[in-house]
Chains A and B, each alone.
Chain A
């Protein structure tokens, strides 16, 4: 099988810190890959480099056959990669619907004339998107779907995480990057959210996911394969059971040098 996303020799430094150190990583189309590793091991940095927030100092990334090493965040999104953020980055004063539509940018007609003058056509596009957003939110939480025009600011963390995932999913990306979607949630909430994610995947068969997660139960349950980072280097790769049994991995997590 060919890789959907391929990183080769990827390196990113911050001053003296080598956040990514000659990382090679392949993500196969259709799989859920768990990206794990201790704090500061470079997981978020990998997402930031892939999505063009930070440039790579060395190495290449290709996605769907095209080189995206130097691509801007915009270009990466248009190529079909969406993400969530470790620290939730919703626009709090805006409604749930607005936040989800931000993620749908590439499928909305952005023409000035269309938006300002052809209000009838705009209304049709708006209503179609309302239905799409509603259907997506219903997969996660039917009650939330009734409240799409309420501001996000008043919602509990679990709902915010759901909306962030909906924002990333609404444009039907090929690759979804989830950065600790369960951060700040209780054990039960985490389980609920993971069920939702698996359910979304039932809808969208082709979807490939990379998930960063500290809860090993989650990783074991939902991933097909894992890659383990430590100090920006990949120290193990394979099915969760195999990786968890790896000595190097255990040492990394226990902090043994």
Chain B
């Protein structure tokens, strides 16, 4: 560490510059339709990042984010709103954007489980689906307020996930992962044969309605018309910001330290009084809670749920986002989710081969940058804090 770093806080400017460039790039990528242009833009993006890295321009950016995260977080929210307002009438783009936001919430949950506690969960999409089905059932058969439905979706994902706790705690490493895979397959079969839940055809989900504000209709403000997905964007954003703050505070606390300690060395951790089971359970349940809430909102956004939407393959996508972004780094997850969700959607030509793309991406990252695109830095309990 440079002496200067000890005394003065890093400047905000590199962080803001990076956010502005990223926002502009994202808008361009989402706006362009022609395939050759998109390919060109992607190539340009990769080249630009590699070049910036080569010239050492990324270091000031990461220092800026490390020291001034609260402020830059507010700018990032602003940037997201700029993008959403830009595409205010475009259903397709807004839906894509909302999908990204909710996937980030889900991977934040996985990140607590795997990134911090080291508990692999290959049933992420299943718990996401449990949230979505919760919305489908409760919105159809009950009049429970929809915010409460989201909460119940999270709680149910945690509750049903706790069925896995015993096997996950008893077994280690790969065996625990196998248990979650078995669960994913079981759940899919259960949904397919269950007529109340619509069987293989799935069921409709009534759109969200908050205090009389129906998310079914476009919004009219004066002469401006906003897509109804804009409402979902706002709610998803609130959820994402809440989840992000939760994950950050968790990491920057003694609990985050506990999770790291038990992931890295269970024996040493128990020699220093750590209750391994207690903290693994805590991490697993909080993680599932986030995944479930995200899924419940996603169900309402998509207005339709079916067993085929929440398969083992989708769980693998969530895990690959985690590996790609940088295990344990929430900012990395945001970047990685954009890549994994947006690129195949824009590049129609490779739609068929998206799983091939994912595998190539993950293998490339594991080979050349094993800690992910944005590796997790050493814990700082309070960004910018100096002794």
Contact = CB atoms under 8 A, between A and B. Distances in A.
Nearest to B261: A102
Interface string A110-121: 101001100100
A77 interface: yes
Interface stretch (B94-102, B185-193, B250-258): B250-258
A89 B268 contact: yes
B149 to A, nearest CB: 24
B269 A126 contact: no
B143 to A, nearest CB: 32
B378 A149 contact: yes
A198 B335 CA distance: 51
Nearest to B246: A116
B265 A147 contact: no
B275 A74 contact: yes
A85 interface: yes
B264 interface: yes
B265 A130 contact: no
Interface string A95-120: 10010011101101110100110010
A39 interface: no
A91 B261 contact: yes
Contact of A101 (B1, B257, B270, B380): B257
B387 A110 contact: no
Contact of B257 (A74, A93, A102): A102
A102 B1 contact: no
A95 B378 contact: yes
A82 B272 contact: yes
Name, among A51, A78, A102, the residue most crowded by chain B CB atoms within 10 Å (CB to CB).
A102
B287 to A, nearest CB: 14
B270 A72 contact: yes
A53 B273 contact: no
A122 B253 contact: yes
Contacts of B382: 123, 126
B209 interface: no
A164 to B, nearest CB: 10
Contacts of B261: 91, 94, 102
Interface in B48-66: none
B381 interface: yes
A234 interface: no
Interface residues of A, number: 42
Contacts of B379: 94-95, 98
B249 A115 contact: yes
A73 interface: yes
B387 A94 contact: no
Interface in A48-62: 51, 53
Nearest to A51: B271
B267 interface: yes
B345 interface: no
Nearest to B378: A95
B282 interface: yes
B255 A110 contact: yes
A126 B382 CA distance: 10
Given A89-B265, A89-B267, A94-B378, A119 B249 contact: yes
A22 interface: no
Given A73-B271, A147-B1, A115 B255 contact: yes
A151 interface: yes
Contact of B273 (A91, A98, A105, A148): A105
Contacts of B250: 115-116
B241 interface: no
Interface in B347-387: 378-382, 387
Contact of A106 (B1, B255, B273, B378): B273
A73 B273 CA distance: 7
Given A93-B264, A94-B379, A126-B382, A102 B269 contact: yes
A151 B1 CA distance: 11
Contacts of A83: 271
Contacts of B270: 72-74
Interface string A173-213: 00000000000000000000000000000000000000000
B381 to A, nearest CB: 5
A154 B268 CA distance: 20
A77 B253 contact: no
Contact of B254 (A85, A110, A171): A110
Given A89-B265, A89-B268, A101 B260 contact: no
Contacts of A123: 381-382
B381 A126 contact: yes
B274 interface: yes
A85 B273 contact: no
A162 interface: no
A85 to B, nearest CB: 7
A149 B265 CA distance: 20
Nearest to B267: A53
A74 B273 contact: yes
A76 to B, nearest CB: 8
A24 interface: no
A251 to B, nearest CB: 35
6 contacts: A89-B268, A91-B264, A103-B272, A105-B274, A109-B254, A115-B249
Closest 5 CB pairs of A and B: A115-B253, A73-B270, A77-B273, A91-B264, A105-B273
Given A73-B270, A150-B1, 12 more contacts: A73-B271, A77-B272, A91-B261, A93-B260, A98-B257, A115-B250, A116-B246, A116-B255, A119-B249, A126-B381, A148-B387, A150-B378
